[in-house]
Structure 1
Amino acid sequence: MLNIQLMFTSLSQKKDKLLLKHIRHRRTSMKLLKKGMVLLMVGLLGFGVVGCSKAADNSQTNNKTEDVVIATVGDGKVTKKALDQQLVYLDSLMQWQYGEDYESNEEAMTYYNEQKRLMVDYLVEIQLIISKAQEYDVNVTADDVDEELELLKSDYDTEAAFEEALTTSGMSLEELKQMLKEDLIVNQVVTACTKDITVSDEEIKTYYDGNIDSFKTEAGATMSHILVATEEEAKEIKAKYDKGTSFEDLAEEYGTDDTKSQGGLLEYIPYNSTNYDADFLEGAKQLEEGEVSEPVKTQHGWHLIKVTDVNKEDQIKSYDEVKDEIKEQLLIQKQNEAVEAKIKEWKESTHIVINEDLI
């Protein structure tokens, strides 16, 4: 089942081309993702994360604006309250990025207003897709909505936790159920629009051949370390390792940097990385799979280094290894393009009025 869902995008991304992207998220319904937008999923992806945002404080005001129509989409409508519910989460992100007084920041408010206007476009597109339900023989029942609601509730430890999140969101249970119904309709319409899209083996192979570098793993290893101040300390720890104490336990006990809580784990590091000390990397390069070094001196102190997933040379994943991954990526891309084209077509044939003064 195809899910389309909102993604939170970086507040630094601006004016990128709008892009629909299909991605799957735990048990949520779908929403439209648009690159360069902070389109915020009401009640699902962001459900219960608002805390004490300014917009959340205005939930009572929202009730007064419920019937104020800010846009009509054929026979459908977008209300001021629907927009305000989205703005709850935008407000939280703005406070996180710019501080609680972001409204006094000209740059922040310019961005806020850009996102607000894009949210209106998003809500219009949702109504546009919903308007095509009958055309695609889509019928969402009350049982379907209840099932979706139970899936959403299962993400919370208790019923009380769910109720608290619902209250924080500023939505009533009926409003949440209506939103879930709309999500299901959108999901089914989009699925119907894209059900015949396929990706051929030829397309997959062409992509693989044209993007071979993206499937390359540079020579390197997954590295862990224990950093201490002196060579003597490092030798004592190495002796304990040689007697059978696990590297991870030793890192947790003796390590002096933030990696100690992860057993000293760093990451997969190419031997030619410029982000790590050259002496450290040279020491790691001499090790075989699973081996732990003798003490290695760097500008930071003395290290014991452990390596796994060792690649002495650059490795390129074979076509067979990545075929399914490429197929999924190309399928998503083609589905995106198909949905974009459909929405453009529907917009051209649907009477849409946006009341700019009410936004």
Structure 2
Amino acid sequence: MKSAKQIATALLVGMFTFSAVGCSMVEKRPEAINSKVVATIYGNQTITRGEIDKLAKGTVEQLKSQYGDSYEKNEEAVAALKKQKEQILTSLIDQKIFLKKAKDQKITLTKDEIKTNVDDVYAQYQQEFKTESEFKSQLSQYGYTVAEFKDQLKNRAISNKLIQQVVKDVKVSDDEAKKYYDSHKNSYTQSPNTVHLAHILVKTEKEAKAVKARIDKGEDFATVAKQVSTDGSKEKGGDLGDIQENDSNYDKTFMAAALKLNDNQVSAPVHTQFGWHVIKCIKKTEYPVKDFNSVKDDIKQTVLSTKQKSVYQKTLKKWESQANIDKNEKNLM
């Protein structure tokens, strides 16, 4: 058995042996990794790797459950983690900017606002779990203590109060609402307009053109769909049933092409993220448009939200340009 002196000597020899690459060896220690600066804001506020890793704990656990403990060897898993860390970094940067601006403008929370936005919200989250202990365990998985989570709720409330200050002067006129109504009448029908569609999905444009040629020559759409389509609807001859015109569950490019078709018309090949489609419009069902005055208030709220979002984004972009943000994203991973 080696003596304590022999072990200590071996460790010292090891240190001198790796002296040429000593910096990289030190960096692999957890405390060294955690202290790596990923971004600096305003020249003196930093965001470290440790802060980001702490908030990415939930994502890491999800990746482990999906890819196993060796998820770091999977390119898809690493890419997903990197993307999540980038989003966390952006959130932390924006939070620091918001809190500084709020402090500059002397924006704080009243006791009632703290109760509503911190205590009550915390209680609502906790009610989703069987016990407080289970909730705290979940918080821990996502990198929070109870105090830290409440701080985040408080920071979010302060940020929201700041945003309200930024957008408080945004208004919507009746003329703006009418202009929006005139260009979005299909969104204000007495019942949602629908279109009955069928499609054939294939991998390549060449295959899609061959499908279209067969149909143009008179072959039955449903029969061709059953023979060549790669979509799950093939057994029904590609029939997708009635779809609401504004259904966001369908690819935008797909729906844009489908809505241009008349009853019983078949499209040219359409390319989406899923492959190449040949689409058939079986029947459109359209309903009368509601009177403008009956939907004016709803439209004003829709347009107001859009305008407020635009003002907010422009203001945030301006603040970011003033924040002297210096990112070192190689330290993310």
TM-score (norm 2): 0.53
Relative contact order: is structure 1 or structure 2 higher (C-alpha 8 Å, sep ≥ 6)? 2
**8 Å contact from structure 2 (residues 56, 84) kept in 1:** no
SS at match of 1:134: helix
- Aligned counterpart in structure 2 of residue 116 of structure 1, from 85, 90, 93: 85
Correspondence list, 1:27-66, <5 A: none
Alpha-carbon displacement from aligned partner over 1:118-165 (angstroms, at most 9, x marks no partner) = 431232122111110133220236775455133321343353443343
Matching residue of 1:178: 151
Between the aligned partners of 1:76 and 1:150, the Cα distance in structure 2 is 31
Q: Which residue of 1 aligns with 2:172?
A: 199
Take 1:129 and 1:116, find their aligned partners in 2: how far apart are those partners? 20
Tell me what 2:193 maps to: 218
Aligned residue number for residue 106 of structure 1: 75
* Structure-1 residue corresponding to 2:16: none
Does the 8 Å CA contact 1:204/1:323 hold for their aligned counterparts?
yes
Which region of structure 1 is more displaced relative to structure 2, 194-203 or 79-88? 79-88
Q: TM-score, normalising length from structure 1?
A: 0.50
Question: What is the CA deviation profile of residues 290-325 of structure 1, one whole-angstrom value per residue up to 9, with x for unaligned ones?
Answer: xxxxxxxxxxxxxxxxxxxxxx96232332343233
Count the aligned residue pairs. Answer: 214
Higher alpha-carbon deviation: 164-173 or 102-111: 102-111
In the superposition, relative to structure 1, how do residues 135 and 106 fare at CA in structure 2: closer, same or farther (>3 Å)?
A: same
Alpha-carbon distance between aligned partners in 2 of 1:194 and 1:62, rounded to the nearest angstrom: 43
Aligned residues: percent identity? 26
Give 1:156's aligned amino acid: Q
Distance 1:154 1:84 in 2: 27
Instruction: Determine the structure 2 residue equivalent to 1:82.
Output: 51
1: CA distance, partners of 2:183 / 2:50: 48
Contiguous gaps of at least 5 residues in structure 2: 1-28, 196-237, 243-284
- Report the equivalent of 1:72: 40
- Does the Cα contact within 8 Å between 1:145 and 1:177 map onto a contact in 2? no
Distance in 2 between residues matched to 1:341 and 1:123, nearest whole Å: 19
Structure number with bigger Rg: 2
What is aligned with 1:128?
97
Given that 1:138 and 1:188 are in contact with CA atoms closer than 8 Å, whether structure 2 keeps it comes out as yes
Q: C-alpha root-mean-square deviation of aligned residues, in Å?
A: 3.6
Q: Equivalents in 2 of 1:151, 1:219: separation in Å?
A: 39
Shift of 1:338: 0.9
> Match for residue 206 of structure 2?
none
What is the aligned partner in structure 1 of residue 317 from structure 2?
Answer: 344
- Indicate conservation of the 8 Å contact 1:66/1:81, yes or no: yes
By percentage of residues, which structure has more helix? 2
Matches for 1:157-176 after TM superposition, within 5 Å: 157=127, 158-176=131-149
